[in-house]
Amino acid sequence: MRRHLTRSKTALIVITLTLALCQPVSAQQREPITGDRGSDMVVDLVLVRPLGIVATVLGTAGFIVALPFTVPSGSVEDTAREWIGAPLEYTFNRPLGNFDTCGADRHPCGSR
């Protein structure tokens, strides 16, 4: 029982930290994060995109767990947009190395 409780706490902490760190961020300036556009692309491909995939999977799992609470309150659409849609868009719908804008119209990530 104790081991199961420890695993549950660890999993909850990992999920919380992952979701907190993978939220789309809107920067004020359009300068490269690392100081070099090519380096930004590498950081995006190796670090940010995989974390975005993890955030999308965890957000989907959290969304499913939260359904019994969101259906009665009528917040299913908002929860899906924030927990699944925003990380999905940030991961798959922005140019490589660009951390600010998404889509062909280059709207701020997470604003739709």
DSSP string covering 26-72, please?
--SS-S-SSSSHHHHHHHIIIIIHHHHHHHHHHHHHHHHHHHHHHHH
Residue 41, in any domain of the structure: yes
Q: pLDDT tens digit string along 43-68?
A: 999 999 999 999 999 999 999 999 99
- Provide the pLDDT confidence category of residue 27 given band limits of 50, 70 and 90: very low
What's the structural domain count of the chain?
A: 1
pLDDT (average), residues 10-35: 58
Residue 30, in any domain of the structure: no
Residue 80, in any domain of the structure: yes
H or E, element range at 19? helix 2-21
**Contact yes or no for 27/100 (Cβ under 8 A):** yes
Q: Domain range for residue 59?
A: 37-111
Residue 73, in any domain of the structure: yes
N- to C-terminal Cα separation, the chain? 43
Residue 76 makes CB contacts below 8 A (sequence gap 6+) with 67, 70
Residue 85, in any domain of the structure: yes
